[in-house]
A and B are shown apart, each in its own frame.
Chain A
Amino acid sequence: MTYVACTADIVAAGAVRPGPAPVSRPAPSAVAQEPWAAYRLDAATEQDLSLPERIKRMGRGQEMSILAVRRALDACAEAPARGGATAVAVGTAWAEEGDEIVFLENLIKLGEKAAKPAYFVNSVKNALASQLALTFGFRGENQTFAHDALSFESALWHGAHLLRAGRARHAVVCGVEALVELQEMHGHLLGWYGTDATALAPLAGKRAAGQGTLPGEGAAAFVLAAPRVGPKPLARLLGVRARGSLRRWPALRVSEELEFVAQGLRDAGTRQGDIGLLLVGANGEPGLDGIYAEVARGLRARAPGLAVGVYRHLTGDFAVASALGFELAVRAVASRAVPAEVRVVDGTAGAVERVLLYHVTNAGYHSTTVVSA
Chain B
Amino acid sequence: MKKRPRVAVTGMGIVSAAGWTLDETWGSLAAGRECLRPLSLFESQRCGKLPVGEVTGDPARRSGLAAGSRSDHLAVWAAGQAYADAGLRADGFAAERGAVVLGALTGGMMFTEEFLVGLFGEKRVDARGLDERACCNATDRVAERFGLGGFRATVSNACASGGSALGLGGDLIAAGEADVVLAGGVDSLNRVVLNGFGSLMLVSPDGCRPFDAERKGMSVGEGSGVLVLESEAHARARGARVRAWLVGCGNTCDAHHVSAPQPEGRGLAEAMRIALADAGLLPAAVDYINAHGTGTADNDPVEARAIRAIFGEMPPAVSSTKRFFGHTLAAAGAIEAIVAVLALERQAIPPNLGLRKVDPKIPLAPVAEYREAELDVAMSTSLGFGGNNSALLFRRAGSREAAT
Contacts and interface: CB of A to CB of B under 8 A. Distances in A.
Given A101-B116, A190-B128, A243-B149, A161 B154 contact: no
Given A105-B120, A111-B45, A125-B135, A141 B253 contact: yes
B158 A146 contact: no
Contact of A154 (B112, B117, B153, B274): B153
Given A120-B192, A246-B149, A148 B134 contact: yes
A133 B253 contact: yes
B24 interface: no
A141 B288 CA distance: 24
A145 B252 contact: no
A124 interface: yes
A104 B111 CA distance: 12
A2 interface: yes
B122 A30 contact: yes
Interface stretch (A19-27, A181-189, A275-283, A307-315): A181-189
Interface in A124-180: 124-127, 129-131, 133-134, 137-148, 150, 154, 158, 161, 164-167
Contacts of A274: none
Given A30-B125, A115-B196, A143-B164, A130 B258 contact: yes
Contact of A166 (B1, B152, B179, B385): B1
Given A120-B196, A243-B152, A246-B95, A126 B47 contact: no
The interface size bin for chain B is: 35 or more
B44 interface: yes
B168 interface: yes
B116 A143 contact: no
B143 A104 contact: no
B157 to A, nearest CB: 5
Nearest to A62: B258
B326 interface: no
B68 to A, nearest CB: 14
A165 B174 contact: yes
Interface in B187-210: 191-192, 195-200
Given A112-B47, A139-B252, A130 B386 contact: yes
A108 B200 contact: no
A73 B47 CA distance: 45
Q: Which of A88, A108, A130, A150 has the most CB of B within 10 A?
A: A130
Given A111-B45, A112-B44, A125 B105 contact: yes
A356 interface: no
B386 A3 contact: no
Given A4-B176, A133-B387, A103 B254 contact: no
Contacts of B105: 124-125
B145 to A, nearest CB: 11
A107 B386 contact: no
Contacts of A104: 112-113, 116, 191-192
Interface in B109-161: 109, 112-113, 115-117, 119-120, 122, 125, 127-128, 130-131, 134-136, 139-140, 143-144, 147, 149-158
B175 A123 contact: no
Given A4-B176, A111-B45, A244-B140, A100 B112 contact: yes
Contacts of B119: 28, 30-31, 185
B253 A189 contact: no
A245 interface: yes
A190 B153 contact: no
Contacts, number: 228
Given A126-B385, A166-B1, A139 B254 contact: yes
A6 interface: yes
A142 B386 contact: yes
B173 A1 contact: yes
A120 B200 contact: yes
Interface string B363-389: 000000000000000000000111110
A95 interface: yes
Contact of B157 (A3, A105, A142, A164): A142
Given A139-B255, A166-B1, A182-B112, A190 B171 contact: no
Contacts of A121: 196, 200, 258-259, 385
Contacts of A4: 175-176
Interface in B214-244: 231, 233-234
Contact of A84 (B44, B155, B231, B270): B270
A113 B1 contact: no
Nearest to A1: B176
A263 B257 CA distance: 42
A85 to B, nearest CB: 11
Given A101-B116, A150-B152, A126 B147 contact: no
B247 to A, nearest CB: 15
B362 to A, nearest CB: 25
A116 interface: yes
A169 B130 CA distance: 40
A133 B255 contact: yes
Contacts of A52: none
A115 B199 contact: yes
Interface of A: 1-4, 6, 28, 30-31, 84, 88, 93, 95, 100-101, 103-105, 107-109, 111-113, 115-117, 120-127, 129-131, 133-134, 137-148, 150, 154, 158, 161, 164-167, 182, 185-186, 189-190, 242-246, 363, 365
The 7 closest A-B pairs by CB, nearest first: A130-B386, A120-B196, A142-B253, A189-B127, A125-B156, A244-B152, A112-B46
7 contacts: A127-B258, A129-B386, A140-B252, A142-B251, A143-B157, A190-B127, A244-B143
Interface of B: 1-2, 4, 44-47, 95-96, 100, 104-105, 109, 112-113, 115-117, 119-120, 122, 125, 127-128, 130-131, 134-136, 139-140, 143-144, 147, 149-158, 164, 168, 171, 173-177, 179, 191-192, 195-200, 231, 233-234, 251-259, 267, 270, 274, 384-388
Given A129-B157, A146-B156, A182-B115, 15 more contacts: A31-B119, A104-B191, A111-B45, A122-B258, A126-B156, A130-B386, A139-B252, A141-B252, A142-B253, A143-B168, A144-B157, A148-B134, A158-B171, A190-B128, A243-B150
